Amino acid sequence: MLTGIHVVMIGGDARQIEIVRKLSTLDARVSLVGFEQIEAGFIGVSKEELDDIDWKTVEAILLPVGGIGNDGFINSVFSSNKIKLEAKHVKQTSESCTIYTGITSNRLEKMASQAKRDVVVLMNRDDVAIYNSIPTAEGAVMFVIQHTDSTIHGANVAVLGLGRIGMTIASTFKKLGATVSVGDKESASLARAFQLGMKPFHLDDIKQALKQADVVINTVPAKIVTSSVLTEMMQHAFLLDLASKPGGIDHDYAQKRGLKSMIVPGLPGMVAPKTAGKILANVLSDLLLEQTRAQ
């Protein structure tokens, strides 16, 4: 149980509701910031403003998957107000306070360092990424169906990056009958793709590899699908960018060429917020329980 632990949750989307539900069940005290448009309705949960929180009692700060931007602001779909966590807030927290975030930023790392508080980046964890790859793959299938006029079965699908998310996406499309090719830089990843019956290619050879692609799904957070690559692609190709912004595809040039392209980071929260929220809630509750035992 998390009885007595004071957690401040700032901003986010529908995934946060599942986290609140879990923490309430574990008897934590939760202060919500940026949730004025919803009814709390949970035991031990209250809606507050940043400057009204008793920060010296705070043992955990929960930020949304998008974390804090380098401008200091935190997004919340449940608020029309701008939310800005400042160094003065973090410095007032309990010395054992830990900051949990989906992704980090230079601003957050600087604030945490100045206050001597630990930061846990959830999206860097294997368990979170692997669990999240399931709704990500389902969302990718949904977008491909919506934005192409042919079946996935028999299509030439290229997946860029065979990491924890790319592996699940590639396997999902292969099971649906697509001819799947996978681009990566790691020889071990390429060997794994071959072992799974996919067509591996090194990212240095991306221009040639994508010439016959009907669908390209990118998970690499670096510009690898450049204008020179896009020039060689078939006109009907659909490009889906799942990497964090700015993504790995030159979308401006794709648009100029008349190619369909989309960038949709945070896909689990878009297509399956309840499931994605439960994944985060389970991991966070375990981490908070470990934190309380260590104190």
What lies within 8 Å, CB to CB, of 159 at 6+ separation is: 166, 169, 170, 173, 180, 181, 182, 183, 217, 219
Q: Answer yes or no: is pLDDT of 266 > 90.
A: no
User: How far apart are alpha carbons 140 and 175 in whole angstroms?
Assistant: 14
Hunting for tokens 């985060």 — which residue is that? 280
Overall average pLDDT of the 134-145 stretch: 97
Strand partners, 183: 160, 201
Q: For residue 41, name the pLDDT band (cuts at 50, 70, 90).
A: confident
Q: According to the model, what pLDDT value does residue 42 have?
A: 87
Q: According to the model, what pLDDT value does residue 99 have?
A: 97
Q: What are phi and psi of 224, to 5 degrees?
A: -115, -25
What letter represents residue 183's amino acid? G
Q: For residue 134, give both structure tokens.
A: 């399931």
Please provide the CATH number assigned to the domain covering 6-124+272-294. Answer: 3.40.50.720
What lies within 8 Å, CB to CB, of 37 at 6+ separation is: 78, 79, 80
User: How far apart are alpha carbons 163 and 184 in whole angstroms?
Assistant: 9
> Is the model more confident about 84 or about 70?
84
Please provide the CATH number assigned to the domain covering 128-264. Answer: 3.40.50.720
Query: In percent, how much of the chain has pLDDT > 90?
Result: 87
Average pLDDT over all residues of the chain = 94
Instruction: Answer yes or no: are the C-beta atoms of 150 and 234 closer than 8 Å.
Output: no
Is the whole model's pTM more than 0.75, yes or no?
yes
Q: Tell me 7's DSSP state.
A: E
**Exposed/middle/buried for residue 37 (C-beta within 10 Å: 0-12, 13-18, 19+):** exposed
Q: For residue 38, name the pLDDT band (cuts at 50, 70, 90).
A: confident
Q: CA distances (Å), 48 to each of 12, 23, 33, 60, 220, in order?
A: 15, 17, 6, 15, 38
pLDDT tens across 210-260, in order? 999 999 999 999 999 999 999 999 999 999 999 987 899 999 999 999 999
Q: According to the model, what pLDDT value does residue 72 have?
A: 87
- CATH topology of 6-124+272-294 equal to that of 128-264? yes
Q: For residue 43, name the pLDDT band (cuts at 50, 70, 90).
A: confident
Q: Answer yes or no: is pLDDT of 40 > 80.
A: no
Q: For residue 140, name the pLDDT band (cuts at 50, 70, 90).
A: very high
Overall average pLDDT of the 122-149 stretch: 95
- By mean pLDDT, which of 8-17, 52-61, 65-74 is the weakest? 65-74
Domain ranges of the chain: 6-124+272-294, 128-264
Overall average pLDDT of the 100-128 stretch: 94
User: How far apart are alpha carbons 28 and 10 in whole angstroms?
Assistant: 15
Handedness of CA 195, 201, 203, 206 (dihedral sign): negative
Overall average pLDDT of the 9-27 stretch: 94
